[in-house]
Structure 1
Amino acid sequence: MSILTLAGSPSQHSRSTALLRYAAMRLAARGLNSDELGLRDLPAIDLIEGHFDGSAARALRARVAGAQALIIATPVYKASFAGGLKAILDLLDQKALTDKIVLPVATGGSTAHLLALEYSLKPVLSALGARHILAGVYATDRQVWMGEVEVRIDADVRERLDAAVESLVRHLYATPLSQGYDLGYLALNARFSV
């Protein structure tokens, strides 16, 4: 099973990327490998100018097309997800997330930005065809401590991330079709995981 983690922070050592890497570690503990792609992995000029036909954009689209699931992490700035993540998403095909399982993860300065996942990120993911968007995980900056070497994630956030990863795994293994998903099962479970 192919899982792509997408880091939307402009910083390599951000809180949202720390949550993304924790989720990847939990997947690895379940025997599932993931491949990370970050904002910094794409040429800035391609993102700024929206070079849809460039080689980096084609490679991005190929990686997304090959993934069965994506975990997308973003910092929240001014009540919305990061503009750099939007630049990445703008390089995808119109229905790039069709039949993909998507787990959104975000961090922000306070709980006041908690609904940014619901009101800003999830509509964009839906516009890209995602219909299997799992309940997201949001953490405040105080819940993710970033040291020079060590990262500490609050126990409550780890628990919620663990549950979200388990939900992702359940959805992945509920795919009896060789090329698609059991859409009835996913739709039913999506109602209860939001």
Structure 2
Amino acid sequence: MSVLLIAGSPTEHSRSATLLGGVEQRLHAAVDDRRLRVDRLHIRDLSPQALLLADWGHPSVVRAIEQVANARALVIATPVYKAAYSGVLKVFLDLLPQSAFKGKAVLPLATGGSPHHMLALDYALRPVLQSLGARHILPGVYASDSQIPKDEDGEYLIEGDIAQRLDDATHLLLHEGLRLPPAAMVRPVPFAQALYSV
């Protein structure tokens, strides 16, 4: 069983990529790696010419479409520009077969300059996900720029309300999207690391 994390930002270090990384950390913390494989797809790494010319035969596009087909669930992260998801993500979604998300659960994540763009998840991205046949589109997580500040080293931070919302979203992805039983959520603890009192 696998989850594919799709980074829809044209830049490598972005707030939306930070949200995606937060979900990845939570997935690894919640489920044993042998039970759930987590893969990443950075759309910016695909051939720009192949994307713009809709070259389905280009090796990078073929591989990306295979990754989508092989995943049981998808987490899609995008910045919001002009009240819509990124153009990079749009070009990629346009290349996918009409039933590419059939039977899959999808967790959308987005970031934007202000809270005014949060409806882009519901009014711009959700209809496209539905048109691709997503079985279950989970409630998305939107964060404004001020909710993902930088630390002293220039790294983006996930704290407070956004951290809690990512916890909740990951929980929903695992239990409702992937329908993992509770037993699958517990990692075994070696006896030497067990804490106990007498």
Which structure 1 residue ranges, 5 or more long, are not aligned? Answer: 177-194
Structure-1-length-normalised TM-score: 0.86
Q: Which amino acid aligns with 2:9?
A: S
Change (3 A) 1:51 1:5: same
Superposed, 1:109-148 pairs within 5 Å as: 109-147=113-151, 148=153
Structure-2 separation of matches of 1:65 and 1:89? 13
Structure 2 residue 184 is the aligned partner of structure 1 residue 168: no
Structure-2 separation of matches of 1:90 and 1:172? 24
Deviations along 1:117-167, whole A, 9 cap, x unmatched? Answer: 000000011111113000000000001123545321231011001100000
Which structure 2 residue ranges, 5 or more long, are not aligned? Answer: 182-198
Change (3 A) 1:133 1:13: same
Structure 2 equivalent of residue 17 of structure 1: 17
Q: CA RMSD in A?
A: 1.5
Structure-1 separation of matches of 2:164 and 2:23? 11
Structure 2 residue 151 is the aligned partner of structure 1 residue 153: no
Q: Which amino acid aligns with 1:23?
A: V
Question: Rg larger in 1 or in 2?
Answer: 2
Deviations along 1:59-87, whole A, 9 cap, x unmatched? Answer: 11111111000000000000000010011
Contact in 2 for aligned 1:144/1:152 (Cα 8 Å): yes
Structure-2 separation of matches of 1:173 and 1:96? 17
Q: Which amino acid aligns with 2:13?
A: H
30-39 or 153-162, which deviates more: 30-39
Instruction: Report percent identity of matched pairs.
Output: 48
145-154 or 92-101, which deviates more: 145-154
Structure-2 separation of matches of 1:157 and 1:57? 32
Structure-1 separation of matches of 2:71 and 2:37? 11
Structure-1 separation of matches of 2:44 and 2:178? 31
Q: What is the aligned counterpart of 1:62 among 48, 56, 66?
A: 66
**Runs of 4+, deviation exceeding 3 Å:** 146-149
Q: Which amino acid aligns with 1:6?
A: I
Contact in 2 for aligned 1:9/1:85 (Cα 8 Å): yes
